[in-house]
Every structure is written in structure tokens, then in C-alpha cells.
Chains A and B, each alone.
Chain A
Amino acid sequence: MDLSTVELSRLQFALTAMYHFLFVPLTLGLSFMLVIMESVYVLTRKEVWRTITRFWGLLFGINFVLGVATGLTMEFEFGMNWSYYSHYVGDIFGAPLAIEGLMAFFLEATFVGLMFFGWEKLSRPAHLMVTFLVALGTNLSALWILIANGWMQHPTGAEFNPATMRMEVTNFIDVLFNPVAQAKFVHTVSAGYVLAAVFVMGVSAIYLWNNKWTSIAKRSMAVAAAFGLASSLSVVVLGDESGYALTDNQKMKLAALESMWHTEKAPAGISVFGIPNVKEQRTDFDIKIPYVLGLIATRSVDTPVVGILDLTDKAEMRIRSGIIAYDGVEKLKVNADDMDARALFEAHKADLGYALLLKKYVPDPRMATNEMIVKASLDTIPNVPVMFWTFRLMAGLGFAFIALFAIAFLMVTFEKHNNRLFLLVCMIAIPFPWIAIEAGWVLAEIGRQPWAVDGVLPTFMGASSLSKGQIWATIIGFTLVYAIMAVIEVRLMIRAINKGPYESKLGRMHDDPEVSTTDDPALPVVGPAE
């Protein structure tokens, strides 16, 4: 296998990011479910809700540490493997990462210890507040990371500065309120909520199936069904789609995931099935539902959804314009006071990134042949079959979760939650949100290719000047460490689930609904620290 340093760096980033994102969504969702459960405890003062909160809190903790540990790698990996990227966009991209640490990660990490250790030291409302701050912190973390990621998809509020050879912020408000970032945030955290709800529901189903801890499981399932129904609706309705009409790359992403080679008359239909044929640039066996895509993507009936081949034509024009900007930059390097060069650069700077696509074929884009320009314009098409199938996988699962939670909601409402078939479905469902979420990540990141930052910096330009040996060493090293951690984590999770919501402090070994549904005066009252 001969992979270039760029491909190896991409492989490593994909491995570490996808692994990190096995743990983060559960943290995002479970933290808010803990807030809900603990709120019920504080309001009703029923011990059973304290037990419920502490039990799910235990599983939350096992999961949380791996999210934190693997997040360490992410914070430094841009500098380690994507050095030129870090230089080129650090002026914009570094800020949300730093703010994430200061505003969000400090919050969740400082309070998470107190959440676990503070039960005896804090009053009930104070502990609830701590749990809430942890949930708030984790979700704010997601916000800042997605502002950073959203900027890579839609780099607004910045422009290239030839004096420093990098992108620099011109309008921070635009970076903050980037519509792509907003859509991504809502979509991603909702997906995390769905995942956590499916997890809680599935584990509760295991208990109900075995007729163990039923009073805990019943209540947990009710919380999960309601929380999951709301989140699964939000994840689909407030999907990423709203951002797809914004930029050329976003349009390309949409066209690619639909395998739509030619612009269609508005409003375009959506494919429910088809087989993308890249070689002949068409979709075989295409079955479409009319109007739907046009309505979702453009929020109108008369705006056409642009096809892949029209977008590559546009890319070719932008490459030619970008070459002029590149020429301007090279002249300004030699003489910063060259007014003609500056004027040319200013007129064409929006397309500078497109000229950099040519660096794959020729060191100096100004020397590119026509053939190279055409090739580079075709490079702007991401991997269509991967896009087409991961989108259908993700969206299909998304709709399946709505159905699952709708049924669950009814089952719980009408006290039919002991139905064996229903419980079986809940248990089988546990791994699927992870599949949907990873598919979503692949869709977003493969869809952005060939760009690291849309229209600004091609991915292959961003890598560090490392040797293959170095990158292989870290890929193997991280894979080994991560694999060991995964095995340990899953084992501890299973162990904790098998052990069940057993409260050592109260010595309550058995799940006795008579005792656990009401405050038992015989049990020690847990109140504020003395």
C-alpha cells in the first residue's frame, strides 16, 4: 500500500476524529437527560429518581473520560499533521478552539468532578445546578467546535493577506453567526440527543426484558421516549440541508449526495433509489420523488438545484480567475508596493484557492496547461457513490428513529412497554445511532473534498512536511492505544449495566417498587452537607 503523506494524514485524522465522536454524542445527550432526571428528583424528592440519575451518571462517567482523553489528540492534531493548514487559517480557526476551552470545556470539566463527588456535599438544587452546568458546558463545546468546522465548510468573514500568506479575520460576527455552523450545531447536538435516548431506551429494555430493576427502567424509558421523539424530529427537520444553497462547495455537496449530474428544472425531485455511475456521469435506475429536493434545499419552488457538471464548469472559470490572483500574490511577494499586482489580486482574490488546486499537477499554477485546468475542475467533485450511499444510510436511519420513538412514546403512554417485540426492537436499535452519526461525519467531510477549507485551501496543501514513517508510527500507536481503550470501555460499560442501578450507600440491593417509589423515612435523608 503506497499512500502519500497527505492520504496518511487524512487516514489518521479520520481515525482519531471518528473514534472521538463515538463518545462525544453520548456525552452531549446523556448530560441533558441527567438534568431532566435529576430535575424530577429535586421536584418530587422521590429517591427512585436519585437512583436513576446516579445510575445513568455512572455510565455517563465511563463514557465521558474517553471523550475527554481522545479530545486531547484532536486539539493538537491540526498542528501536528496539518501544519500548513494551521498556519493558513489559524487566524480564524484557532479562535473558536481557544474559546471552546475557555468558555465551554472548563465549565464541563470543572463541574463534572463535583457532579460525581458532590452528592454528599451539596444541597439538592445546588447539585442539580452542577449537573446542568456540565450539560451546558458539553453542548457549548459542540457549538464552538462546529463554528470552527462550519467555517471550513463556508469560510465567511475572512480574506487572504499576501503580506502574511494566510487568511485573516475581517468580520468576527460573520464567523460566529455563520449559517452553516448554526445549522450544523442544531443538527449535530440533536443527533447526540437521539443517540443517548436510544441508548437509555435500549438499556432499559434489557432490564425490562429480564424483569430486573423495573421501576428504574420504566421511568428511564419514559424519559428517553419523550426526549428521543423531540430530538429525532429536530435532527431531521433542522437537518443540515438548509445550508446547502450557500456556496459552490455546498451546492456541489448537495448535487453529489443526490448523484445529480445535470441541473434540473425547479423544483428538483429527490432520489429514493439509484446507482451512481461515475464513469458515464449519470445515475442508473433512478427513482425520484418529484419536488421534494427543490423544496428542502432552496426553500422555494422556482430556484433550480444546480447539477455537478454545471458546477465544474463554474469551477473551471474560477480556476482561471484564481491564476490571476496567484500571479498577483507572487508579484507582491517580490515587491509589496506593486500597485498593478495588488489591483489584480484584489479583483480576483476570491478565487485564489481555486488556483491552488493546480498545485497537485504543477508547482506554479501559472504554468498550468488547459488540460490541467480541466482536470483540476473535475477534482472539485467529491466521491459521488460514497456521498450518495452514506446520505441514504444516515437519512434512512434518521426516519427510522422517528418511527421508533413515536412507537415508544405510545407504548410508554399506554403502559404497554412490556411488549417483548417492542423491547427486542429497542435493544437491537442501540448501535444504529452510532452508525448514522459516523455516516453523517463521513458525508460532511468527504463532501467537502477536495477542500480543507471550501474554495480557500485544498486538503493536500494543508499537510505537514512529515515523513511517512512518522505518520505510520502515530497511526499504529493511536490505533493500538485506542483499541485497548475501546475494549476496556465496552467491558466496563457492560459490567456496570449488568450490575445495574444498585445504590451501595442505601444498601438497596433489590429493586423494590414499594420502597423506591416513595421517600422511605427509614432511609437516611440525603441533604446538604453539614
Chain B
Amino acid sequence: MELPIDYMTLRVIWWGLVGVLLIGFAIMDGFDMGVAALLPFVAKNDSERRAVINTVGATWEGNQVWFILGGGAVFAAWPFVYAVSFSGFYLAMFLVLTALILRPVGFKYRSKRPGKAWRRNWDWALFAGGFIPALVFGVAMGNVLQGAPFSFDSDLRATYHDMFLGGLLGLFTPFTLLCGLVSAAMLVLQGSTWLGLKLEKGIVRDRALRFGFFAALAVIVLFAAGYVFVRFSGLGFSVVDAVNPAGASNPTRAEVVPMAGAWLANYSKYPWMWAAPALGFVGPVVAIFGQRLRSDWLAFGGSSLAIVGIIGTVGCSMFPIILPSTVDKHSSLLVWTASSSHLTLFIMLLVTLVFLPIVLLYTAWVYKVLFGRISTEHLKTNPDLY
């Protein structure tokens, strides 16, 4: 059967779609994580904490699906990436999953008993469920940029070569920690601008905005530090020789080697890509201005733009590489060599084009129904709130 879109184009489209899903996840689930990470610090007593929790109380479940969908989409579109990264970052994934498991349970169960200790424990569980994933996702991004120690045999079975403490501690280097901090700051900013939108004016909201200001500054400084590191550390990988972009999905057919400055090469080749890092800096500035001008929407929009820019920067810097191998020249995963078959990519594109707009429509409707600030008055009168 002749498909109406050629294989190479589909592969590029899916590179973009995975990026869209990652960004969707960071924007939507990002404010949940940021709110949870801020919870113990911006809200001091139970009614303050309930107010903060209820800003995301009705919507965190839907937002979390972006994470699950991200996993499913990577599985369907880039089975190699799904297979190699989650088993390679095994214990880190375990850490993230346990932290994320605490979150739904924390939201739902905290309100079910009045006990002080009960609620305080869940508050810290929620903090862990917000902060740990926010940090580890950044560390994971850092490891993707830095490359991972895996190789394929001729059956395309992956093995890992650096098993220092189960491969967990090997993931934490100065650079990947820096990336983790960028991610944590970015999501805390997202959470703080969300609280700015959803909380009634008062002391909790003021504290959240103050955290947001420092988070925005941190995003700018840390993102710049990331650039400096990439520019001067010799980090980067480059594809040797042209790889047929419509060839079979077999990573061993491409040769990828470390090369200083390679992560910056795309920007001279495709100057439009500068838009991504530029947004990474403009976004937090807009967020700060939004807060100064008392425009909560502008602040939230700026923070979301920062997410688009920063995640976009990782994608643009690496294209067409997805996950480089540090130990084997013929194992790195490329957009051209690690995707699903032509037919699967095409079918999944159709499914996405039909269902993603529907999802966005009803999500928007739900947010419209729930529109408005959470006040302490609500907490007293509405028995359904957490």
C-alpha cells in the first residue's frame, strides 16, 4: 500500500509531535508539580494548604495523562528509545515512578482524615511527588545531551556498560545536575504563576509570586550556564556521513561520534532554530513582567513560553540525534534509525490528528467550568473540595 506521506517526512513530523507531547506534559503537569513542590513553603497552615491543593484538585488527574501519553507515544513512535532509555535509566525511572505514585494518592487521601500528622505527612509526600520528578526529568534530559553508555549487538539487543551503583549515581554529573536544576526552576515558576492565577489575593498568593520571581531569575541564570557549559566543555555528538532518512529503522547503520560544539551546529545551519533558546530567555522575563504588571495570564503565558523554548532547545540542538551512545559509534539513536515502521507512524499520526484536538477541546471546557479563583470561603462551604 502506498502511503500518502513519505517515511522521512513522517519521521520529522513525529520528532515534532514527541516534542509537542513533552512540552504539553511540562506545561500542564508542570504546574501541578510546581504547585506540589511549593506547597510546604507558600502555605503554612491547613486551610492555606487546602487552598493551594485545590487550585489543581480537579485537574491534576487529566494533566498527568500527558506523562502517560508521552510514555505511550515514545513506545509507539520510537520503540528503540522506549526500550533503551527506560531500562538504561532503570533506578532513576523507579525513583520518578514512586514519587509520582505518591502524588495522586496524596491529593486524594490527604483530605480524607482530619489528623494533623496525617495531613503533614501527605504534604511532604506531595512535595516529593512534585519536586523529585521535576528534578529527575531535567537530569534525564542532561543525560540525553551527554549520551548514555549503551550498545547494540546484531540482534539489536541493548546492553549497558556503566553500572555504577545500578547505573543510578552515574546519571548525576555536574552538567546533568545543572539540567535538573533548570527543570526544577522552570516547573516551580510554572507552579507559582498558576497559583497567581488561581488563588484569591492574599498572603499565600504573595508568597507564591515571590518564589516565582526567584524561580524566573534562576531559570535565566541556569539556562545561560547550560549554554556556557555546552559551548566550552566540548559536549556534543555528530553524525558521520549522510544517513538515508528513509532507510530501515536500524541504529547500527549510522555512525555517530563525539564532537565538540556539535550541539550548536544546527543553529548556523538552520538559523530559525535560534527562536527556541531565545524563548527560553524571553519566557521567564515575560513571566516577571507579568507578575509586576499584575497580569496573571501574562505571567503564566511567559512561564509556558519558557518551557516551550527550553525543551525546544534540547530538541533543536540534537536533531537528528535522539540518544547518543558514549561507548559505541554504531548504536546511537537517530530520528532516521530509531522510529517505528512507515505504516505505524502514519496510522498513529492519523489517530493523533483526530484525537488530540478533541482532547484539547474538552480539556478547555473542563477548565472553563472550573474557572475562577479558589478562596477560603469555598473551602468552608463546598464539601467536595479536598
Complex interface: chain B residues within 8 A of A116 (CB): 58, 384
Given contacts A72-B100, A477-B94, contact A90 B60 (CB under 8 A): no
Complex interface: chain B residues within 8 A of A81 (CB): 87
Which residues between 103 and 124 of chain B lie within 8 Å of chain A, taking CB atoms?
A: 103-105, 107-109, 112-113
Most buried by B among A106, A161, A504: A106
B272 to chain A, nearest CB (A): 29
CB of A399 closer than 8 Å to a CB of B: no
Which residues between 339 and 368 of chain B lie within 8 Å of chain A, taking CB atoms?
A: 340-341, 343-344, 347-348, 351-352, 355-356, 359, 362-363, 366
Given contacts A469-B166, A488-B109, contact A70 B156 (CB under 8 A): no
A75 pairs with B71, CB closer than 8 A? yes
Complex interface: chain A residues within 8 A of B343 (CB): 168-170, 172
CB-CB contacts of A106-118 with B at 8 A, as 1s and 0s? 1101111110111
Complex: A99 Cα to B370 Cα, angstroms: 27
B69 pairs with A101, CB closer than 8 A? yes
Complex: A114 Cα to B57 Cα, angstroms: 10
Given contacts A72-B68, A168-B344, contact A94 B158 (CB under 8 A): no
Given contacts A110-B65, A470-B166, A492-B109, contact A75 B72 (CB under 8 A): yes
Complex: A165 Cα to B382 Cα, angstroms: 58
Which residues between 34 and 71 of chain A lie within 8 Å of chain B, taking CB atoms?
A: 61-62, 65-66, 68-71
CB of B91 closer than 8 Å to a CB of A: yes
CB-CB contacts of A89-132 with B at 8 A, as 1s and 0s? 01111110111111101110111111011111110000000000
Known: A72-B64, A87-B156, A101-B73. 14 other contacts (CB 8 A): A66-B105, A68-B61, A70-B101, A75-B72, A81-B87, A94-B75, A102-B359, A113-B59, A117-B57, A164-B248, A165-B156, A168-B344, A333-B154, A465-B158
Which residues between 429 and 467 of chain A lie within 8 Å of chain B, taking CB atoms?
A: 464-467
How many CB-defined contacts (below 8 Å) exist between A and B? 257
Complex: A485 Cα to B68 Cα, angstroms: 21
Range for the number of chain A residues in contact with chain B: 35 or more
Complex: A83 Cα to B158 Cα, angstroms: 8
A10 to chain B, nearest CB (A): 15
Which residues between 133 and 180 of chain B lie within 8 Å of chain A, taking CB atoms?
A: 154-160, 163, 166-167
Complex interface: chain B residues within 8 A of A161 (CB): 248, 341
A467 pairs with B163, CB closer than 8 A? yes
CB of B62 closer than 8 Å to a CB of A: yes
Complex interface: chain A residues within 8 A of B379 (CB): none
Choice from B82, B101, B341, B366 contacting A86 with Cβ under 8 Å: B82
Complex: A17 Cα to B82 Cα, angstroms: 19
B101 pairs with A61, CB closer than 8 A? no
Complex: A505 Cα to B382 Cα, angstroms: 8
CB of A509 closer than 8 Å to a CB of B: no
CB of A269 closer than 8 Å to a CB of B: no
CB of B90 closer than 8 Å to a CB of A: yes
Given contacts A65-B108, A83-B83, A505-B383, contact A165 B155 (CB under 8 A): yes
CB of B204 closer than 8 Å to a CB of A: no
Given contacts A84-B157, A333-B154, contact A119 B384 (CB under 8 A): yes
Complex: A503 Cα to B291 Cα, angstroms: 41
Complex: A485 Cα to B69 Cα, angstroms: 24
A91 pairs with B64, CB closer than 8 A? no
Using CB atoms and an 8 Å cutoff, list the residues of chain B in contact with chain A. 57-62, 64-65, 67-69, 71-77, 79-80, 82-87, 90-91, 93-94, 97-98, 100-101, 103-105, 107-109, 112-113, 154-160, 163, 166-167, 248-250, 340-341, 343-344, 347-348, 351-352, 355-356, 359, 362-363, 366, 369-370, 382-385
A69 pairs with B101, CB closer than 8 A? yes
CB of A80 closer than 8 Å to a CB of B: yes
B75 pairs with A110, CB closer than 8 A? no
B370 pairs with A84, CB closer than 8 A? no
B14 to chain A, nearest CB (A): 11
Choice from A87, A99, A120 contacting B79 with Cβ under 8 Å: A87
Complex: A100 Cα to B158 Cα, angstroms: 27
Choice from A98, A110, A165 contacting B348 with Cβ under 8 Å: A98
Secondary structure class of chain B's binding surface, majority of residues: helix
Complex interface: chain A residues within 8 A of B383 (CB): 504-505
B62 pairs with A113, CB closer than 8 A? yes
Using CB atoms and an 8 Å cutoff, list the residues of chain A in contact with chain B. 61-62, 65-66, 68-73, 75-76, 78-81, 83-84, 86-87, 90-95, 97-103, 105-107, 109-114, 116-122, 161, 163-166, 168-170, 172, 333, 464-467, 469-470, 473-474, 477-478, 481, 485, 488, 492, 495-496, 504-505
B341 pairs with A91, CB closer than 8 A? yes
A71 pairs with B166, CB closer than 8 A? no
B217 to chain A, nearest CB (A): 33
Given contacts A87-B80, A102-B356, contact A69 B104 (CB under 8 A): yes
Complex interface: chain A residues within 8 A of B58 (CB): 113-114, 116-118
Closest 9 CB pairs of A and B: A90-B79, A79-B86, A94-B75, A94-B76, A110-B62, A113-B58, A98-B72, A101-B69, A464-B87
A369 to chain B, nearest CB (A): 22
**A-B residue pairs in contact (CB < 8 Å), sample of 27:** A65-B105, A79-B83, A79-B86, A80-B94, A83-B87, A83-B157, A84-B157, A84-B158, A87-B158, A90-B79, A91-B79, A94-B76, A99-B355, A101-B69, A110-B366, A111-B362, A112-B61, A113-B61, A117-B385, A118-B370, A120-B382, A120-B384, A121-B370, A168-B344, A169-B347, A465-B158, A485-B105
B68 pairs with A105, CB closer than 8 A? yes
Q: Which partner residue on chain B sits nearest A86 by CB separation?
A: B83
Complex: A118 Cα to B109 Cα, angstroms: 19
Given contacts A69-B104, A164-B248, contact A470 B75 (CB under 8 A): no
A90 pairs with B86, CB closer than 8 A? no
Given contacts A62-B112, A470-B167, contact A102 B79 (CB under 8 A): no
B344 pairs with A118, CB closer than 8 A? no
Complex: A107 Cα to B69 Cα, angstroms: 12
A157 to chain B, nearest CB (A): 10
A470 pairs with B76, CB closer than 8 A? no
A166 pairs with B86, CB closer than 8 A? no
Complex: A103 Cα to B359 Cα, angstroms: 8
Choice from B86, B91, B155 contacting A473 with Cβ under 8 Å: B91
B246 to chain A, nearest CB (A): 12
Complex: A71 Cα to B97 Cα, angstroms: 10
Complex interface: chain B residues within 8 A of A68 (CB): 61, 64, 104
Complex interface: chain B residues within 8 A of A505 (CB): 383
Q: Which partner residue on chain B sits nearest A89 by CB separation?
A: B79
